[in-house]
Every structure is written in structure tokens, then in C-alpha cells.
């Protein structure tokens, strides 16, 4: 006799609970399940690309169908297990005598490279899924694969995509590193997250370059994170002063978010800041050679940029600091 649909439903829900329990056992702070459906933002994403708002990130236009349709990227995918890791860490105050030479680094890049941390855990989760359901297939991703992971995380109930385009969780705020396991197993989806930004515009008001052009819309070409990491050429003169003291990335739109007021700190040792104050002495960065660069940034996400780009940023920050504090 074939199993009833009720029996299958119970088994599917039990499996989903076990998948989530395994993800938490592996150290993920949040986990949810989304259907591997096409993005509802395909038309907007195409327009955003066509308008050039991706800047020099031309790779975003590649594999458009895969990027907006998980089942095209990974044939047979019907479910996506979405995970998130809290990376917030308390920082030590900067001594007054250091402030005139202090260059800030985005919090996500202060610990060990999150790609390595999350991928290892995702692979363990994927192995467990395939062992639990023989014949199933999986594929893992951590922001480098062509999927719309913020949208998937929102569908999975991890958090909503806020006006600053970051995923925001009611309990952990937006200090979240995302990852996903696409699978051929049909799993019951979680309720999508609901938006709690309300009428707040603090992130828009705080962005010095006006990169958040409207709620939920970001022009990458003006974003400090893009300019200091993804953009490898010269930075427009009119944008250089707005970069302020940001050497690598930017957290301003997250720093002002009300949902980040009471976020807990990450407990994972690998995510603790290697630079306790959250930044570096810009004078030192300008003197680094390749060997020093490799030694200082070993297993760091900051190696996303090569030394010449980092020193380009350092020169801009140094000039901004002199204008702020004097020579």
C-alpha cells in the first residue's frame, strides 16, 4: 500500500525540522526554508543592470536566467535551505591620539573570511541532507554563486530586505552573513518575513553619497562599499571626500538602523575582530609591501581587494583625515 499524502506531509515536516536542527548544530544562528521559485524582481533587476547601476560589476549581468531562477542555476532544485550567521562584534574605542590616522573596516571583514567559515558548514549540512535522503542532490552558495540570496532569505523568513537593501532580522538586526543549500528535496516552506521598516528613513539620510536613491533601491556606483571594494579604477573626485575614513566597505546605513540597537555579539571565535578597534592605521597600510599585505590579511575577506586598491583607498582616507584633523 502506498503511503498517504498525510503521511508524506508529516515526513516532510519532520525532515524540515531535522534539517533546521542540524543547521543550528553546525553553528548557524538562523535557518529557514524557501521554495526555489523565480525571483519576483526579474524586471527590476534587468532595468537596474541596463541603467548601469551595477557599475563595473559586469559579472552581475552574466547568467541572468540562472541568477533569477534557482531551478535554472541548479536543475531539479525545488527547495532552498537558507542560513544566516550573526557577525556583530563589540569594538574597542579608538584612542584620541590614534583618531587622526584611524581608517575603518566594515564589520563583516574584521574576522576570518566568512566564505571559508560558512562554506565548510554548508558542505557539512549538504552532506547530511544527502545521507539522510539517498538520491537527493544539493548545491551550496555563499554570495559568490548566481542566486538572489537576499530575496531567498526573506522568503525563508530569515528577515526582510530593508530600505538599505540589507536583510534585517527582528532579533539579530542586519549584521548577518547569508548562505544557502539548494536541494531537490521538496520541503515545506517557512512564512516569508514581513517588512518592519515603517516610515523610518535613517539609512537614506545617513548615506553620505546618496547611494540609497529611494527606499529599497541602491545605486552601487555611489556606494562606499562598492567604491572601496568592487571598483578597481579611479574614484571620482566628488565622491572621495564622502568616503571619509572608510578603508574597506561601509557600515553607516546599518549603524543607524533602529533594529540594530540591541543586537547580541557573535560568539563564534572565527568572527571576532582581528583589529579590535575595527580599523587600521592608514599610515601603516600605505607602507605595506606584498609580503606584509599577505601576512596581515591571511584568511581575511579583505583580500577581496589587492594591495594597490587598498592603498588607493588608504590615500583617499589619509587626505580626508588630514582635512578633518589637520596635518
Distance CA(214)–CA(2), nearest Å, equals: 54
Burial class, 323, CB count within 10 angstroms (exposed 0-12 / middle 13-18 / buried 19+): exposed
SS (H, E, C) 153-186: HHHCCCCEECCCCCEEECCCECCEEEEEEEECCC
Measured from the Cβ of residue 61, the count of other Cβ atoms closer than 10 Å reads 13
* Marked catalytic residue, from 120, 124, 143, 281: 143
Alpha carbon of 131 to those of 30, 76, 136, 163, 180: distances in Å? 22, 18, 8, 40, 18
124 is catalytic: no
Burial class, 202, CB count within 10 angstroms (exposed 0-12 / middle 13-18 / buried 19+): middle
Alpha carbon of 296 to those of 53, 98, 112, 280, 302: distances in Å? 33, 19, 12, 11, 10
Q: Phi and psi dihedrals of 212, rounded to 5?
A: -85, 95
Asked whether 206 and 253 are in contact (CB, 8 A), the reply is yes
**Residues pairing with 80 in the sheet:** 34, 182
Alpha carbon of 266 to those of 102, 108, 137, 218, 247: distances in Å? 24, 11, 31, 27, 23
Asked whether 182 and 80 are in contact (CB, 8 A), the reply is yes
- The residues carrying an active-site annotation are 143
Amino acid at each position: 500500500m502506498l503511503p498517504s499524502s498525510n503521511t508524506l506531509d508529516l515526513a516532510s515536516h519532520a525532515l524540515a525540522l531535522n534539517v533546521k536542527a542540524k543547521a543550528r548544530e553546525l553553528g548557524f544562528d538562523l535557518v529557514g526554508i524557501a521554495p526555489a521559485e523565480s525571483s519576483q524582481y526579474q524586471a527590476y533587476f534587468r532595468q537596474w543592470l541596463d541603467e548601469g547601476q551595477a557599475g563595473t560589476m559586469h559579472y552581475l549581468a552574466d547568467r541572468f536566467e540562472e541568477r533569477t531562477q534557482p531551478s535554472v542555476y541548479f536543475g531539479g532544485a525545488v527547495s532552498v535551505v537558507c542560513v544566516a550567521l550573526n557577525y556583530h562584534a563589540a569594538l574597542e574605542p579608538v584612542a584620541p591620539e590614534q583618531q587622526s590616522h584611524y581608517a575603518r573596516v566594515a564589520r563583516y571583514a574584521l574576522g576570518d573570511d566568512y566564505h571559508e567559515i560558512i562554506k565548510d558548514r554548508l558542505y557539512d549540512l549538504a552532506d547530511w541532507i544527502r545521507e539522510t535522503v539517498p538520491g537527493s542532490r544539493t548545491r551550496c552558495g555563499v554570495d559568490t554563486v548566481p542566486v538572489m540570496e537576499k530575496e531567498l532569505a526573506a522568503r525563508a523568513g530569515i528577515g526582510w530586505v530593508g530600505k538599505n537593501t540589507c536583510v534585517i532580522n527582528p532579533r539579530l538586526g542586519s549584521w548577518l552573513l547569508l548562505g544557502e543549500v539548494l536541494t531537490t528535496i521538496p520541503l515545506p516552506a517557512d512564512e516569508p518575513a514581513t517588512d518592519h521598516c515603517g516610515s523610518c528613513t535613517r539609512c537614506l539620510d545617513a548615506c553620505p553619497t546618496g547611494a540609497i536613491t529611494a527606499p529599497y533601491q541602491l545605486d552601487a556606483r555611489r556606494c562606499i562599499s562598492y567604491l572601496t571594494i568592487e571598483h578597481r579604477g579611479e574614484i571620482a573626485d566628488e565622491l572621495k571626500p564622502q568616503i571619509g575614513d572608510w578603508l574597506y566597505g561601509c557600515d553607516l546605513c546599518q549603524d543607524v538602523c533602529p533594529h540594530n540597537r540591541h543586537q547580541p555579539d557573535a560568539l563564534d571565535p572565527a568572527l571576532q575582530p582581528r583589529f579590535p578597534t575595527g580599523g587600521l592605521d592608514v599610515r601603516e597600510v600605505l607602507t605595506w609591501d606584498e609580503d606584509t599585505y599577505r601576512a596581515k590579511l591571511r584568511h581575511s575577506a579583505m583580500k577581496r581587494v589587492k594591495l594597490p586598491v587598498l592603498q588607493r583607498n588608504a590615500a583617499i582616507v589619509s587626505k580626508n583625515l588630514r582635512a578633518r584633523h589637520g596635518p
